[in-house]
Amino acid sequence: MTDSPDRLPADAPVPVRIRVLGCSGSIAADRRTTSFLLDDTVLIDAGTGVGDLTLEELARIDDIVLTHAHLDHVLALPLLADSILAARMRQPERGPLRVYALPETLETLRAHLLNGQLWPDFTRLPSAAFPILQLRPCHVGDQCLVGHGAAARTLWVLPATHPVPACGFGIDTAQGWWIFTGDTGPNPALWPMLRGRQIAHLVIETSFCNAQRDLADLSGHLVPSSLADELAHLDGAVPVHVTHCKPSDAEVIDAELRELVTPHQIRVLARGHLFTM
């Protein structure tokens, strides 16, 4: 994947800032589904947390990267397109909002979401020549650029194991890689790719409590005991941030995580958390 020269990073990049808009495995009061805001202009997944952004904040977004097509990770995408339509039309020089995802994820969006029936096809609106959304495929192993100028970031597409085609993402920072696994079960392809790399933060899902292991395995998710098995593949101690806990299991998951014997500092991620690297 290539990007135009005007999007190459400057010699002195600004610190990476990643704001947690949502990190819950489903909805409830004060629970928002997965979305992270990178440097004010890039969304990593588009769950319900996007709805807490102001109209002005929504209008600053230029890139969206999606881990997979499940609704809790994409449902804000069509509403975001609708919200920024007028602002984007007033600034045609910015071009369309770029949406990066696996080819299979983009095809699902075309067929089942942006299909003119469930929601208008904003890849052809307000016109095919000037759409609000532009879908761009990426593949596991790709490293591409998102953002602009000094805030352009290297995005690394990582493997995930899920019932639908899925991936995770890494962001290169001055302190090392910020790694987000996306929704995944046990993921043997991931850990060799991370071996020998400096990891600043690992954001990894744990959706269910240990009593729900069968359900987690069936649906491509982790529980605390399988999380411990995954973390055993890491070199050295890494700050670990657990995301995607189901609200009904959240308290039990937290208690079971505290019981794990591991060199890693593990904490449950919270909406509003800010990574600065």
Q: With beta carbons less than 8 A apart as the criterion, state whether 216 and 193 touch.
A: no
Report the pLDDT averaged over residues 195-202. Answer: 96
- pLDDT recorded at residue 9: 43
Q: What digits encode the pLDDT tens for the residues 246-268?
A: 999 999 999 999 999 999 999 99
In a domain, 7, yes or no: no
Question: pLDDT tens-digit profile of 120-131?
Answer: 999 999 999 999
Residue 118 domain-assigned (yes or no): yes
Residue 241, domain extent: 16-276
- pLDDT score at 13: 61
Report yes or no on 135 lying in a domain: yes
Give the model's pLDDT for residue 5. 31
Q: For residues 187 and 218, what is the distance between their CA atoms, to the nearest angstrom?
A: 14
What is the total count of domains within the chain? 1
The pTM assigned to this predicted structure is 0.94
Residue 11 lies in a domain: no
Residue 8 covered by a domain: no
- Round to whole Å and give the CA distance between 231 and 238: 9
Q: Between 46 and 1, where is the model more confident?
A: 46
Q: Note whether residue 94 is domain-resident.
A: yes
Tokens matching residue 52: 């807490």
**Res 2: pLDDT:** 38
Q: Residue 60 — pLDDT band, cuts 50, 70, 90?
A: very high
Residue 272 is given by DSSP the state T
To the nearest 10°, report the CA torsion of 165, 160, 227, 15. -130
Residue 3 lies in a domain: no
Per-residue model confidence (pLDDT) at position 6 = 35
Q: Where are the beta strands (DSSP E) in the chain?
A: 17-22, 35-38, 42-44, 63-65, 97-101, 133-137, 143-146, 153-159, 167-173, 176-180, 199-205, 239-243, 265-268, 274-276
Q: Mean pLDDT in the chain?
A: 94
Kindly state whether residue 9 falls inside one of the protein's structural domains.
Answer: no
Q: Residue 30's domain is classified under what CATH number?
A: 3.60.15.10
Is the confidence at residue 108, as pLDDT, over 50?
Answer: yes
Distance of CA 260 to the CA centre of its chain: 26
Contact at 8 Å (CB) between 171 and 18?
yes
Checking if the pLDDT of 243 tops 80, the result is: yes
pLDDT per residue over 75-106, tens digit each?
A: 999 999 999 999 999 999 999 999 999 999 99
Report whether pLDDT(48) > 50: yes
